[in-house]
Amino acid sequence: MSPSTTRQTAAFRPSVYRVILPICGTAALNHSGKVDTHNFYGTDSDYDDSTTDTATMRFEHDINDNTTIRNTTRWSRVKQDYLMTAIMGGASNITQPTSDVNSWTWSRTANTKDVSNKILTNQTNLTSTFYTGSIGHDVSTGVEFTRETQTNYGVNPVTLPAVNIYHPDSSIHPGGLTRNGANANGQTDTFAIYAFDTLQITP
């Protein structure tokens, strides 16, 4: 009988993404003149931040040459928050105080999100190869438990002023997101048991 061996590995992988999302558009109001298609109707404060952290721990033990038990635990967290400007389409959202097109404005809103997702999973797996007579068996069996949680943080509304259609000003700084405590929480638990046996029949 060969001696048993044990292996253990661990890994942690953080990652951060930041995306600046400009909102561009065109407008056509009767014969009021062409709008520059390069106009930016968002604000300099528009952003989309995403952060992902992952940690993995694996433990392996060779019971003998044909049987191995493994335990894998993985934790992951994904956080995302953004503040992005949206143009309110439709003539009802256009203000025309005078016949001067330079005074025409378009209403806009701030879309916001502040959410955190976490997942913790643990799997124990036993693999073994053996024969019963002339039939070979390759067995894989195990159990797995996963917990997923989400927190959707309530944030105070962000108010943006109307934007000039022909001469938009993006130097608006409404400030960052401020949480108001009206959070929504969710949790999902999953438990699984599995067993597979691959047969090899020798004539």
pLDDT tens readout for residues 64-113: 999 999 999 999 999 999 999 988 766 666 777 777 778 888 888 899 99
* Closest residue by Cα to residue 27 from 86, 89, 85: 89
What is the reported pLDDT for 34?
81
Q: Could you tell me the pTM of the whole model?
A: 0.71
How many residues in the chain?
Answer: 203
How wide is the angle at C-alpha 89 spanned by C-alphas 83 and 94, nearest 5°? 105
Handedness of CA 200, 59, 64, 2 (dihedral sign): positive
What is the reported pLDDT for 74?
97
What is the reported pLDDT for 174?
83
Q: Where are the domains of the chain?
A: 5-201
Contacts of 148 (CB under 8 A, 6+ apart): 117, 118, 119, 187, 188, 189, 190
Tell me the β-bridge partners of 115.
80, 152
- Regions of the chain where pLDDT drops below 50: 23-29
Q: Which CATH architecture has domain 5-201?
A: Beta Barrel (2.40)
CB of 126 within 8 A of CB of 68? yes
